[in-house]
A and B are shown apart, each in its own frame.
Chain A
Amino acid sequence: MAGGPIMPSSVYYNDSSGRIYPLCYSPGTSTNDAPREWGHGVVGSLGGDSILSLRFPVPPGSVPTGTLKLRGLFLANATTGTINYTVEDGSCGAGVIPATVTLTSETQSSLSWGTGDADKYKEVKTTLTTSPAANDMLIVAVKFQTSGWTLAVQMCAIFSIIWE
């Protein structure tokens, strides 16, 4: 059976230059009573690679069936521009050093904004190579990459894992 979403149990902004940070996204325009939302911010015109370090606890018992994916939702008050990032993933059981687990780099993702996309959820689902066992800790690095990054305004990202 499909499973998730599981939100990260830990988020670390691995960028000493402050280019990634916790962000409360406030849309350019809004009409309802709940327009604001927390996510992970990335500066506009990203000037260097920055890594978001994530941990996801995998459930006990039976790991859900289906394909394990990292689901990224992105918000930006933009009508033009592109971001690029690479997801790296690995699984860590108890008794293992999470910081030395080998991570597999997935194919780079690219996401572009066009006319009418401002303040809308944009989604990328990345199939993960890792097949974690029950109770493992899934380790994910999201590497936001400056090469080809043309989004001029700050972007808000929200990550979860699902099986579907």
Chain B
Amino acid sequence: MAGGPIYPSSAFYGDSTGRLFPAVYAPVAGSPNDAAREQCHGVVGSFSSGGNALLHLRFHMPPTIPTGTLKLRSLHLCNATSGAAAIIVEDGTCPVGSKPGSVTLTAETLYTVSWATGEADKYKEVKTTLTATPAANDILVVAIKYTTSTLQWTLASQLNSIFSVIWE
């Protein structure tokens, strides 16, 4: 049976220069409704001017692991009609009795998410299949690496992201 979503039990902004931060996304397009704003993980615009930055996440696994493929579901919001963000997801599983800070993480394939005309303020979704195969009650350790190393970050506006894990 499919499972989740599970939201992070912890999110740490691993960037000493403040380019990652808790954000409230306020859309600007169209006529906003009465629940237009939303809490997200923010990344500064023109992020390409600095080095990589890391968001540290933890997800507690349930006592029974659902069937299906484990994925990190990423929803991204941006007030933009052009530009791209580049992200590498790293994941590993940590059972009780192990060090979460020393678990080996597997880097998944870098993905880019691009904005075009008509996409401002809309949810854009990326599902990343994870290599980790956590057991019941394990802690899933995830690093979101916002990356400029391949010079693929061209988004000039602030990026806003929401992460969860699902099985489907």
Chain A positions within 8 Å of B, measured between CB atoms, are 1-5, 7, 24, 27, 29-39, 66, 71, 73, 75, 119-123, 158, 160, 162-164
In the complex, A32→B98 CA distance in Å?
13
Distance of A122 Cα from B100 Cα, bound (Å) = 11
Is B96 at the interface (CB under 8 A from chain A)?
yes
Residue of B nearest to A118 (CB): B99
27 contacts between A and B (CB under 8 A): A2-B64, A4-B63, A5-B60, A24-B12, A27-B101, A27-B102, A32-B92, A32-B105, A33-B56, A34-B12, A34-B14, A34-B54, A34-B58, A34-B100, A34-B105, A34-B141, A36-B14, A38-B12, A39-B10, A73-B96, A120-B99, A121-B94, A121-B95, A121-B99, A121-B100, A158-B10, A163-B63
Q: Give the total of B residues in contact with A, Cβ under 8 Å.
A: 36
- Cβ of B11 and Cβ of A38 under 8 Å apart? yes
Flag whether B97 is at the interface (Cβ < 8 A): yes
Q: How far is the CB of B111 from chain A (nearest CB, A)?
A: 16
- Please give the distance in Å from B130's CB to the nearest CB on chain A: 13
The answer to whether the Cβ of B62 comes within 8 Å of any Cβ in the partner chain is yes
Residues of B within 8 A of A27 (CB): 99-102
Closest residue of chain A to B105 (Cβ to Cβ) is A32
A30 nearest CB neighbor, chain B only: B101
Measured in the bound complex, the distance between the Cα atoms of B102 and A42 in whole Å is: 23
| A8 and chain B: residue at smallest CB distance | B9
Q: Decide: A36 near B56, CB < 8 A? Known: A2-B63, A5-B62, A163-B63.
A: yes
The interface residues of chain A lying within 8 Å CB-to-CB of B103 are 32
A32-B141 in contact given A37-B12, A119-B99, A120-B99 (Cβ < 8 Å):
yes
Decide: B141 and A164 in contact? CB cutoff 8 A. no
Contact: A164 with B101, CB < 8 Å? Answer: no
Question: At the interface, yes or no: B143 with Cβ under 8 Å from chain A?
Answer: yes
Taking a contact as CB atoms under 8 Å apart, the answer to whether B63 and A34 are in contact is: no
Q: Do residues B104 and A122 form an inter-chain contact, with CB atoms below 8 A?
A: no
Residues 35-90 of B contacting A (Cβ, < 8 Å): 54, 56-58, 60-64, 90
Provide the bound-state CA to CA distance between A13 and B56, in Å.
Answer: 24
Q: Are B139 and A121 in contact (CB under 8 A)?
A: yes
> Complex formed: what's the CA distance from A7 to B8 in Å?
10
In contact, B102 and A119 (Cβ under 8 angstroms): yes
Contact of B63 among A37, A119, A162 (CB under 8 A): A162
